[in-house]
């Protein structure tokens, strides 16, 4: 087997093998069952509960869960704005990086509390060490908030008839202390011992092999890289993200970081099976997500290893594949694999420049974010998938002439209206944003010339990618786009806000409404939702609603560019 193919196969296999026991452990944590870390971490949990005046045993309904979620995020948003706009005058700034403008601080604050980590700045020069630490804190908070919201839905699916769905703060704190923090410490230590810096000293000077004096940025990077990967955050300490040799020094660290991207999203699926005691249903969900993931990753690896056809036509050999914008220490296959894992989730970190991918690989990265439910972000990935489950159940019920039921609850007009709105919100935000940006550029290209380095089909893809990344809470970009402007900062910030919280509010509301309904025992005529047949129905719904909605836009961007290369 080709060593590059073996490397990516090893990464995926290792991820699944770690995710299964991790999912069971997480299920025990959220269910209040005894775990091996209780003796060590119970005092820490109690400290947070006492400091916050939280009674973890106090049950909440779905509305109270959402109030808690939104309150936490609003408070931290205000704090972030304050720090970023004053960081030039605050301590822990050895490189004297300036304060952010209001529009950039707005974009960055929204980006990190929404788990997007879209960075319209370069970490080395745009943020102080204090700012980096605050943003790293938000990487924990945003990930834990998404996980807690997902557990609320799991709890609603488990219960027969109730309006009590656990305690949000309990789920939130335990996501932090029992899952994210311990694993992040392990990953950070591994990275620090393999070359990623962990220091509060400023830039250091080195003499290059050519005899030049080079100022090299460093800082407390190892800790931030660990949570950026595990929490599907993606915001890098350095501007080049995980393509930077200090953020991702070797193929070994590349394996560790790539495994972390989809580890918790996959583990959450097995957590679902543990909590609702339906392992077969969890495996069905995992199977559909994995099929979708493989449909993106396999052709992407093939295309990048094959090379760029335009370069081939010039008579230039591409034995290593298409290597423009990629790091030699990773190669084309591992770069393509990372590109898909980071876009099917809401991670957004990069170990290669997505702007340099061949057109169809760029399209598959876009599709991963457009579908936004094949693994997805920590917690929120299943919430997106849950919407498609509700729609698939409703359609299936209509096809067989029965009242649609899911987990013993009847799905009626209210739930379907919410599901339809959430399902259509994602295409609406992406396509409207891209249309407005395209209109502005086409009607005054001179005024907006700084936006695009590559006008034409690829320039359209750059704008489409930016809004897709914002709406998917992903954060990666086609970096040929000049995005640190008031238009991109504010428009992307608004889209990130809407695309983060409405798709959480919708599924939690549906789950809460269903949980409060009378439980209907299953009969011989009940639609089975843990079978391959139902899985195919979900996949069809995802394909029709999520994929085909974007076909016209993709035709104007990466598909047109692909055919242009073969002219």
The pLDDT tens digits for 361-401 are: 999 999 999 999 999 999 999 999 999 999 999 998 888 77
Alpha-carbon span 280 to 258, nearest angstrom: 27
Instruction: Evaluate whether residue 300 is within a structural domain.
Output: no
pLDDT for 1 equals: 52
Helix%, strand%, coil% for the chain, nearest 5? 65, 5, 30
pLDDT level of residue 483 (50, 70, 90 thresholds):
confident
Name the average pLDDT for the chain: 92
For residues 145 and 564, which has the higher predicted lDDT (pLDDT)?
A: 145
Range scoring the smallest mean pLDDT among 39-43, 222-226, 252-256, 554-558: 39-43
Residues 6+ away with beta carbon under 8 Å from 281: 272, 273, 529, 530
Residues 6+ away with beta carbon under 8 Å from 520: 405, 408, 409, 410
Alpha-carbon span 415 to 509, nearest angstrom: 8
**DSSP class of 238:** S
Range scoring the smallest mean pLDDT among 284-293, 302-311, 431-440: 302-311
Alpha-carbon span 516 to 458, nearest angstrom: 49
Alpha-carbon span 352 to 342, nearest angstrom: 11
Mean pLDDT of 537-552: 89
Shared-domain flag, residues 540 and 420: yes
pLDDT for 209 equals: 78
- Residue where one domain finishes, among candidates 258, 277, 296: 277
Alpha-carbon span 199 to 353, nearest angstrom: 27
Shared-domain flag, residues 537 and 402: yes
Shared-domain flag, residues 266 and 386: no
Instruction: Evaluate whether residue 528 is within a structural domain.
Output: yes
Instruction: Evaluate whether residue 157 is within a structural domain.
Output: yes
Mean pLDDT of 211-239: 91
Instruction: Evaluate whether residue 256 is within a structural domain.
Output: yes
- Residue where one domain finishes, among candidates 228, 246, 277: 277
Token pair recorded at residue 560 = 């047109």
- Residue where one domain finishes, among candidates 247, 277, 307: 277
Reported as type and span, the H/E element at residue 526 is none
Domain total of the chain: 2
Please list the alpha-helical segments (H only) found in 401-485.
413-443, 457-471
For residue range 58-115, list pLDDT tens digits in order.
999 999 999 999 999 999 999 999 999 999 999 989 988 999 999 999 999 999 999 9
Instruction: Evaluate whether residue 331 is within a structural domain.
Output: no
Token pair recorded at residue 550 = 């974007």
Alpha-carbon span 178 to 90, nearest angstrom: 32
pLDDT level of residue 448 (50, 70, 90 thresholds):
confident
Alpha-carbon span 235 to 332, nearest angstrom: 22
Alpha-carbon span 562 to 212, nearest angstrom: 41
Shared-domain flag, residues 116 and 238: yes
pLDDT for 433 equals: 96
> For residue 435, is pLDDT > 80?
yes
pLDDT for 2 equals: 83
pLDDT for 343 equals: 97
For residue range 247-302, list pLDDT tens digits in order.
999 999 999 999 999 999 999 999 999 999 999 999 999 999 999 999 999 999 99
What is the domain extent for residue 461?
A: 379-565
- Maximum Cα–Cα distance across the chain: 79
Q: How many of the other CB atoms lie within 10 Å of CB of 404?
A: 22
- Do the beta carbons of residue 222 and residue 200 sit within 8 Å? no
pLDDT for 567 equals: 67
């Amino acid at each position: 087997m080709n060593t590059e193919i073996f490397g990516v196969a090893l990464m995926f296999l290792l991820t699944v093998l770690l995710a299964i026991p991790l999912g069971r452990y997480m299920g025990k944590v959220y269910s209040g069952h005894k775990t091996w870390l209780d003796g060590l971490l119970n005092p820490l949990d109690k400290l947070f509960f006492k400091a916050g005046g939280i009674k973890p045993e106090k049950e909440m309904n779905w509305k109270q869960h959402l109030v808690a979620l939104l309150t936490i995020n609003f408070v931290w948003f205000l704090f972030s704005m304050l720090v970023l706009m004053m960081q030039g005058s605050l301590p822990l700034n050895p490189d004297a990086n300036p304060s952010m403008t209001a529009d950039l601080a707005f974009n960055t604050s929204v980006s990190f509390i929404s788990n997007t980590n879209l960075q319209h700045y370069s970490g080395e020069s745009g943020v102080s060490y204090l700012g980096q630490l605050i943003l790293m804190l938000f990487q924990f908070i945003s990930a834990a908030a998404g996980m807690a919201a997902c557990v609320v839905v799991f709890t609603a699916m488990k219960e027969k008839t109730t309006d009590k769905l656990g305690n949000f703060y309990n789920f939130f704190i335990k996501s932090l202390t029992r899952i994210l923090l311990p694993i992040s410490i392990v990953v950070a230590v591994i990275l620090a011992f393999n070359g990623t810096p962990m220091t509060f000293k400023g830039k250091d000077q080195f003499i290059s092999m050519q005899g030049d004096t080079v100022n090299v940025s460093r800082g407390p990077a190892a800790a931030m890289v660990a949570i950026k990967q595990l929490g599907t955050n993606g915001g890098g300490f350095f501007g080049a993200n995980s393509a930077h040799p200090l953020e991702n020094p070797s193929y070994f660290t590349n394996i560790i970081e790539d495994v972390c991207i989809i580890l918790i999203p996959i583990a959450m699926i097995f957590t679902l099976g543990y909590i609702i005691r339906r392992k077969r249903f969890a495996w069905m969900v995992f199977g559909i997500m994995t099929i979708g993931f493989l449909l993106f990753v396999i052709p992407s690896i093939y295309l990048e290893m094959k090379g760029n056809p335009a370069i081939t036509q010039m008579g230039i050999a591409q034995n290593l594949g298409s290597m423009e914008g990629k790091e030699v220490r990773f190669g084309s296959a591992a770069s393509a694999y990372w590109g898909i894992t980071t876009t099917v989730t809401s991670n957004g970190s990069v170990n290669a420049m997505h702007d340099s991918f061949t057109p169809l690989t760029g399209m598959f990265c876009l599709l991963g974010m457009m579908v936004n439910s094949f693994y997805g972000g920590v917690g929120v990935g299943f919430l997106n998938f849950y919407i498609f489950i509700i729609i698939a159940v409703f359609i299936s019920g209509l096809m067989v002439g029965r009242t649609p039921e899911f987990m013993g609850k009847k799905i009626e007009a209210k739930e379907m209206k919410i599901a339809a709105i959430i399902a259509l919100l994602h295409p609406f935000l992406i396509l409207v944003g891209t249309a407005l940006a395209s209109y502005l550029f086409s009607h005054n290209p001179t005024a907006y010339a700084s936006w695009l380095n590559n006008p034409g089909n690829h320039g359209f893809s750059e704008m489409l990618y930016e809004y897709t990344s914002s709406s998917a809470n992903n954060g990666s970009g086609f970096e040929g786009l000049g995005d640190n402007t008031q238009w991109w900062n504010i428009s992307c910030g608004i889209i990130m806000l809407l695309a983060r919280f409405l798709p959480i509010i919708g599924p939690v509301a549906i789950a809460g409404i269903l949980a409060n309904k009378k439980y209907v025992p299953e009969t011989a005529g009940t639609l089975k939702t843990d079978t391959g047949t139902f899985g195919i129905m979900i996949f069809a719904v995802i394909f029709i609603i999520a994929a085909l909605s974007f076909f016209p836009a993709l035709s104007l961007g990466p598909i047109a560019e692909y055919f242009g290369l073969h002219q």
